[in-house]
Amino acid sequence: MFDRDNWQEILATLRNNKLRTTLTVFGVFWGIFMLIIMLGSGKGLQNGVEQNMGDLATNSCFLWTQRTTIPYKGFPRGRFYNFRNSDTQALLDNIPEIEQIAARLQGWGGDGANNAVRGLKTGAFTIFGDYPAYNIIDPVKILSGRYINKLDIKYKRKIIVIGTRVVDLLFEKDEDPLDKYIRINGVYFKVVGTFESKKAGGQAERENNNIHMPFTTLQKTYNFGDIVGWYSLTADKKVKVSVVQDKAIALLKGRHSISPDDDRAVGHANVEEEFKKMTGLFLGIKGLTWIVGICTLLAGVIGVSNIMLVIVKERTKEIGIKRALGATPIKIITQIISESLLLTATAGYTGLVFGVGLVELINFALIKYGANSEMFKNPEVDFKIAITALIILIFSGIIAGFIPAQRAIQIKPIEALRNE
């Protein structure tokens, strides 16, 4: 395998047929190159979608009220109802599989009308009333201060946590917003924390425009009584979210006199199911990428194998002389496979380097020019994939040389010496 004379002979043969060698290895180069580019692009697409989700708990679901569609217990269809504070405790008491529960409300404004004032500055922001658990279910990055805690809920404290866009619009540059006051709906609230969204693109812009206050405080500030806007729930690790969701919907229907057959009265979204669909989609994309890449690579390997057959035919007399001088079949096989392996490994490694280089160049350009989007971000090639590609190259080289090598050892020395 490491016979110096053999390698010198192989290199001399390749140098004497530069054009043929180049055209032969291009198929292998292109196969690995395209495989790396497609895998990097697929990862960029996956990163973009996952970044858009932030750290949203994948074992979560959301429930909200909608108009009824079936008459029930004397109530007409089209009736609108609200969740209540008592529903929160009922959910906790009757569904042990719930891990986290966060009731939520949205205050008026945020639709273009200014709803927050600080001095001479005003702004239109989305105002939410939240429980501490919401920042576990759909967390944001706390930049300074803190998030809402249980004591804020219990004592209905007039505190808020604000997004970066709120800071930019209501405060001077480099001004520390902590312990400052903002007037909302005629009430002054103390800023106890600032945050930044973990999502990307438009989702991040919307979250950074939010103001969060204790759920109980918002109910009082906006005179919502005991109304709950919607629920965010997470399931215990041992059960599926769909189990918790179905139990919660059935419980809420019973508490609000809604027909068990009314599938539209309680709106819901199951993050676990959506995440599984997304994961399945990317697995499919990755699988298709490997199939296309390997098929392209296989075409290149077949080309190498065909050329090796031509080379064996051209060197029939040379092989015959070697056999006549005592060269063993394994030595002939080793030489042919070594030549094939050199061709595929060199071409493949070059394709791998160029592919990774192009992916990194695209990533650099996206970051430098701020072109990352909600659907495509940070294309990259995993190190394990690069190693896998190299292993494929090695096997490809062996396979490409195996048939020509078998053909070579079948040549009888006497017939080879007669060959012209």
| Structure confidence at residue 210 (pLDDT) | 95
* pLDDT of 414: 60
Pairing outcome for strands 141-145 and 187-196: antiparallel
15 pLDDT band, cuts 50/70/90, is low
Half-sphere exposure of 197 (CA within 13 A, CB side): 19
**Contacts for 406-409: CB closer than 8 Å, 24+ residues apart:** 406/333, 407/309, 407/312, 408/312, 408/319, 408/332, 408/333, 408/336, 409/329, 409/332, 409/333
* pLDDT at res. 401: 73
Query: Closest Cα partner for 96 from 204, 248, 206?
Result: 248
Cα pseudo-dihedral 330, 335, 337, 342, rounded to 10: 150
Kindly state the DSSP code that residue 127 receives in the 8-state scheme. E
Lowest mean pLDDT among 22-31, 33-42, 61-70, 309-318: 309-318
| Interatomic CA distance for residues 298 and 32, integer angstroms | 10
Taking the alpha carbons of 290, 291, 296, 299 in that order, is the dihedral positive or negative?
positive
Classify 92 in phi/psi space as left (phi over 0), alpha (psi -120 to 50) or beta.
alpha
pLDDT in tens, 85-138: 999 999 999 999 999 999 999 987 545 566 899 988 999 999 999 999 999 999
The partner residues of 5 in beta bridges, in order of sequence, read: none
> How far apart are the C-alpha atoms of 415 and 183, rounded to whole Å?
100
Beta strands per DSSP E along 88-149 = 98-106, 116-118, 121-123, 126-130, 141-145
Average pLDDT (35-46) is: 83
Q: What is the pLDDT of residues 179-229, one digit of tens each?
A: 999 999 889 999 999 999 988 777 888 899 999 999 999 999 999 999 999
Q: Which two tokens stand for residue 114?
A: 């200014």
Dihedral sign computed on CA atoms, order 337, 343, 347, 353: positive
pTM above 0.85, yes or no: no
Mean pLDDT computed over 3-8: 59
**Is residue 269 very low, low, confident or very high in pLDDT (cuts 50, 70, 90)?**
very high
Q: Which residue is associated with the tokens 């497609």?
A: 38
405 to 275, 299, 301, 308, 336: CA distances (angstroms): 50, 19, 15, 9, 5
| Closest among 96, 399, 69, 43 to 235, alpha carbons compared | 96
Instruction: Give dist(CA 110, CA 206) in Å, integer.
Output: 10
Pairing of strands 210-214, 126-130: parallel
26 falls in which pLDDT band (50, 70, 90)? Answer: confident
Q: What is the pLDDT of residue 327?
A: 67
Backbone angles phi, psi at 323, to 5 degrees: -65, -40
Quick one: pLDDT at residue 372?
60
d(CA 13, CA 21): 9
